[in-house]
Each structure stands twice: as C-alpha cells, then as structure tokens.
C-alpha cells in the first residue's frame, strides 16, 4: 500500500488547544484528530502517516518546513495561527519548498468581522486551498482532501 507522509503544522498559541479560549477554539485537542480522521476516511486513513509539530516561533516553523522538504514529506496541513495574517516569511518558504499545503483554521476567520485582519491571509496564495471553521475537524478534512489530491 502506498503511504503518504503528511505533516500537521501548528503555529503560535496552538499548543494549548482545549484550554485556550474554548468559546472560540473549542474543547478538543489534537489528540482527538486521529479518531475524526478514521471516522471520515475509514480504512483510507491507513494510507497516511501523520506527524505533528507546533512552534510559537516563525523561524521554528520555517525550519520545520525546510526539514519536511528534505525528508520528502508529501503534504502539509498548516494552521499558522496569527502568522497567517502577517508572515511574508512563511509565504516565501511555502513558495519554494514545493510541498502541497492546505491552510487550516479552527475558527471561521471570515466570521470574525470584529477583527478584519483575520480575513487576510499572506500564506493562502501558496496553498492549494483553505478549510476553516470546523474546529479540530478542519485538520481531518484537510488531511482527507490532501490524500485525495495525492492519490489522483
């Protein structure tokens, strides 16, 4: 069976999911993700190998993306947190490493109209798509879509 290596990359302030503003980001954690993936993908979930990395620093995220390229990772599911809205450096990194990436958000950033900056993404242009607003399920949906892209 062909297996795809998918990196789940989480940016700043995403290391305490479940505790951080549950009214915005929910009560679930990344530990709940594999079960959700199994529910939506069934046995196809066996054909992805997931790794997960979280960093609060922009440089740490770039280093991890460069390592993913070196390691031949097949796809990235990326929640860059607030760096989504500000980081040209992360956009530059995604532009050259050439790994298919899906931008993910737990909250529906477009519905957070009181904070218009959240509707801007600097990394989105370098991604094949965006999934936002489904809590931790956003990550599982992104893995599923990435898997479909990699298979076809």
Residue ranges in contact with ligand DQA by CB under 6 A: 13, 79, 81-82, 84, 105-107, 109, 118
Distance of CA 8 to the CA centre of its chain: 5
List the one residue out of 8, 15, 5 whose CA is nearest residue 140: 8
- In the complex, minimum distance from the CB of residue 95 to ligand DQA, in angstroms, rounded to a whole number: 20
* Ramachandran region, residue 65 (left: φ > 0; alpha: ψ -120 to 50; beta: rest): alpha
* 105 labelled catalytic: yes
25 is catalytic: yes
Q: Which residues contact 81 (CB under 8 A, 6 or more apart)?
A: 10, 11, 12, 13, 14
- Angle among Cα 125, 131, 132 to the nearest 5 degrees reads 110
Q: Of the two residues 73 and 80, which places its CB atom closer to ligand DQA in the complex?
A: 80
CB of 118 to ligand DQA, least distance (A): 4
From 16, 83, 105, 147, the catalytic residue:
105
47 vs 129, which CB is nearer to ligand DQA? 129
Among 25, 83, 139, 147, which one carries the catalytic annotation? 25
Based on CB atoms, which residue is closest to ligand DQA, 87 or 144? 87
How far is Cα 60 from Cα 53, in angstroms, rounded to an integer?
10
The least CB distance from residue 132 to ligand DQA, in Å, is: 7
Give me the active site residues, please: 25, 105
């Amino acid at each position: 069976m062909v297996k795809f290596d998918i990196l789940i990359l989480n940016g700043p302030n995403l290391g305490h999911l479940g505790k951080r503003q549950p009214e915005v980001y929910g009560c679930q954690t990344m530990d709940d993700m594999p079960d959700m993936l199994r529910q939506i993908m069934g046995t196809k979930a066996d054909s992805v190998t997931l790794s997960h990395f979280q960093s609060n620093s922009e440089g740490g995220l770039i280093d991890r993306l460069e390592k993913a390229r070196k390691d031949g990772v097949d796809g990235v599911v990326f929640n860059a947190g607030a760096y989504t809205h500000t980081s040209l450096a992360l956009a530059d990194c995604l532009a050259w490493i050439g790994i298919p990436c899906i931008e993910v958000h737990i909250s529906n950033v477009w519905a957070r109209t009181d904070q218009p900056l959240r509707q801007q993404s600097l990394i989105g242009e370098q991604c094949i798509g965006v999934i936002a607003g489904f809590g931790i399920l956003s990550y599982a949906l992104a893995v599923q879509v990435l898997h479909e892209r990699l298979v076809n």
